[in-house]
A and B are shown apart, each in its own frame.
Chain A
Amino acid sequence: MLKIEKLHARAGDAEILKGLDLEVRPGEVHAVMGPNGSGKSTLANVLAGRPSVEVTAGKVLFEGRDLTELEPEERAREGIFLAFQYPVEIPGVSNLYFLKAALNSRRKHLGQEELDAMDFLTLAKEKAKLVEMDEALLNRAVNEGFSGGEKKRNEVLQMTVLEPKLAILDETDSGLDIDALRVVARGVNALRAPDRAMLVITHYQRLLDYIVPDVVHVLAGGRIVRSGGKELAQELEEKGYGWLTEDAA
């Protein structure tokens, strides 16, 4: 589904990714772990198409298509979803309106009928229940004045509504207490499906107790330096990153 080869990317003047390789097949959940500054968020941003991140070399293929040629909105309609590490507050745009516009653009692209306001409201309420999000937040402006946990739930809500093929979770666990973490994980696990893949980016092993990955990668110095099964995450928890990053540096 996703194939990354020798990817180099820069944000501003700094080269962050330096020859990254990664392959994710349908149905798989991959965890990408690594110390701060290793390039985890840059990888997420490359996949979602953030304009300030520039791909300088290498290939990113999504279902065989060159992802770098697509605009962010085109990627979203093709089924890529990034749950932001720092969801953006947008005063003046209602959460419900935003979600509906997002879903309808995807449905339109898939040749499905767009949902009207009533049908959409029903769907949104049902999904909000799944992530235990207060319905009142649907009528508020996007993320405006939301707590950290509410913002992350809102990300997972969007993900469950949009049903992407490839979901990228960029440190969705950061700043969450254990209850919120469980709720978020439940939302994510509910989406696991044979035709869907997930890339879970995290600094800590904790999230992976709830979202159990098929493969764990360690990103350091802009490259994947080690890949393994879910037990690799446990090893990292015990030993830290030092023993791996020394090689990369």
Chain B
Amino acid sequence: MSAAWLQELRREAAARFEELGYPTTRLEDWRYTNVGALAKTDWVSGEGRHDDVTPADLEHLTFPVFACSLFVFVNGHFAGDLSSPRALAGGVEVTTLSDALRDDPEGLRGRLGGLADSKRRAFAAQNLACFEDGAVVRIPAGVEIEQPIHLVFLSKPGAAPTDSHPRVLVVAESGSRATLIEDYVTFGEGEFFTNAVTEIFLEPNADLEHVRFQRESARGYHVSSLHVRQERDSRLAAHSISLGATLARNDVEATLVGEGAHADLYGLFLGTGRRLVDNHTTLDHAVPHTTSQELYKGILGGRSRGIFHGRVIVRPDAQKTDARQSSKNLLLSSGAEIDTKPQLEIHADDVKCSHGSTIGQLDEDALFYLRSRGIEEEQARALLTRAFASEVTDAIRSDVLRQRVQDQLLEILESE
């Protein structure tokens, strides 16, 4: 029997989702992204059964390292047999949400649902009402852990369209330092919908690198939101790598509530075929002396469509804010489209805010140079495209992960 506050929270969320319904293109935040097809589908809650998934499959789908800090969820349900023990070096804890809610519900009160506003956000409300399970990560004060904590979310569609609502809660205590990977992959064929919500609390002086690596199969809808609250002198590096799914919508929201806090937001999104990738970011500078830097890069081919909407808020007394935003996009075909829009809401006067966006094509001279050395045109295009992405991927701290992201990108580009 779960705690009364939680029951109440989830009941409210369910009611709120019913009220809001799926967003429509009449809403400003969803102008370009029509989720009508998703809304019309009868989704069946995905099962956690995974007898047919072997560690070898997993290795093939993700990457074969860090076996000792790997946590796997199948359709949102924890797969203990595919995961490592839950206590890691330095006392870092990875618990399932269901265990945490059973053993120490009070510890989650105010945190779970505390950042993802389910009053306003339909998908966050749906997740809160429907989450199967999820992960709770706690990095104790002063602990620095080099090895990334690797969460794998495997969507495993059944015969009927399958949905799942994974949820992650992270508390990085003061002075801690860690890297967390959320890895979204698909096993098997079929239609599915992933609605993921992550909430991260960065206590004073905590340093967290968060990498969201989404490469689900083409029959998936992927909606995600990441919400971060940053206290004094904390540092966030959030990478959103969005390579898969037929429709992907990624929201990232960082609120800087302590002086000296800094956020780096990196994004890389790839559109092929008729895919749609929509990125909405919000950087909320709530107090003086906070800084942020944002770089999103889009690669769009076929008849795909990309959206970057970057909102920066500087609250009235948030003097000395320094916020820089950049959106760079590569159109690989005449049928591809990008909409890029900065939205600066500055309510203080002593601040530095800048934004810029570019849209371009591959450099013909560089292409000819590569070809003149015997490199096939398609391979040359893929190489140059990967090179365009490298400004973002190079910012990933972990060598293994960076390499994996780059390889996967090249693989997709060469197969198109």
Spell out A's residues near B (CB within 8 Å).
Answer: 48-52, 71-73, 75-77, 81-82, 84, 87-93, 98, 101-102, 105-106, 109, 141-142, 158, 162
Contact = CB atoms under 8 A, between A and B. Distances in A.
A106 B371 CA distance: 12
Query: B interface, how many residues as a size bin?
Result: 20 to 34
B132 to A, nearest CB: 40
A106 B374 CA distance: 6
Contacts of A109: 374
Contact of A72 (B372, B383, B386): B372
Contacts of A49: 371-372
Contacts of A89: 366
Interface of B: 363-366, 368-377, 379-380, 383-384, 386-391
A10 B364 CA distance: 18
Contact of A105 (B363, B376, B387, B388): B376
A98 B374 contact: no
A76 B368 contact: no
B376 A92 contact: no
Contact of A158 (B368, B373, B388): B373
Most chain A C-beta atoms within 10 Å of own C-beta, residue among B365, B373, B387? B373
A88 B376 contact: no
A142 B386 CA distance: 14
B349 to A, nearest CB: 37
A51 B375 contact: no
B113 to A, nearest CB: 41
A102 B368 contact: no
A71 B366 CA distance: 15
B369 A71 contact: no
A84 B389 CA distance: 26
A106 B387 CA distance: 23
Nearest to B368: A50
A225 B117 CA distance: 79
Given A93-B383, A109-B374, A51 B364 contact: yes
Contacts of A48: 368, 372
Given A51-B368, A73-B374, A76-B373, A92 B390 contact: yes
B366 A73 contact: no
Contacts of A93: 370, 383-384, 386-387
B372 A76 contact: yes
Contact of B376 (A73, A75, A142, A158): A73
A90 B387 contact: yes
B376 to A, nearest CB: 6
Contacts of B371: 49, 71-73, 76
A102 B386 CA distance: 17
Contacts of B389: 92
14 contacts: A50-B372, A71-B371, A72-B368, A76-B373, A84-B372, A88-B369, A90-B366, A90-B387, A92-B388, A93-B386, A101-B375, A101-B383, A105-B373, A105-B374
Given A72-B368, A101-B379, A91 B373 contact: no
B387 A88 contact: no
B298 to A, nearest CB: 16
B368 A92 contact: no
Contacts of B374: 73, 76-77, 102, 105-106, 109, 162
Contact of B387 (A50, A81, A91): A91
A71 B375 contact: no
A82 B364 contact: no
Nearest to B394: A92
B354 to A, nearest CB: 22
A73 B390 CA distance: 25
Nearest to A158: B373
Nearest to A109: B374
A75 B365 CA distance: 17
A76 to B, nearest CB: 4
B402 to A, nearest CB: 13
Nearest to B376: A73
A71 B371 CA distance: 8
A91 B383 CA distance: 11
Given A71-B371, A92-B389, A102-B375, 18 more contacts: A51-B368, A52-B364, A72-B372, A73-B376, A75-B372, A76-B373, A82-B372, A84-B372, A88-B365, A89-B366, A90-B369, A91-B390, A92-B384, A92-B388, A92-B390, A93-B383, A98-B373, A142-B369
Contacts of A81: 372-373
A93 B362 CA distance: 14
Contacts of B387: 90-93, 141
Contacts of B372: 48-50, 72-73, 75-76, 81-82, 84
The 10 A-B residue pairs whose C-beta atoms are closest, nearest first, are A92-B387, A76-B374, A102-B373, A92-B390, A105-B374, A72-B371, A88-B369, A73-B371, A93-B387, A77-B374
Contacts of A51: 364, 368
B386 A92 contact: yes
A203 B389 CA distance: 40
A92 B373 CA distance: 17
A96 B51 CA distance: 44
Contacts of B370: 90, 93, 98
Nearest to B383: A93
Most chain B C-beta atoms within 10 Å of own C-beta, residue among A73, A84, A98, A142? A73
A43 B314 CA distance: 58
B264 to A, nearest CB: 19
Contact of B366 (A82, A88, A105): A88
Contacts of A105: 373-376
Contacts of B369: 84, 87-88, 90, 142
A77 B374 CA distance: 5
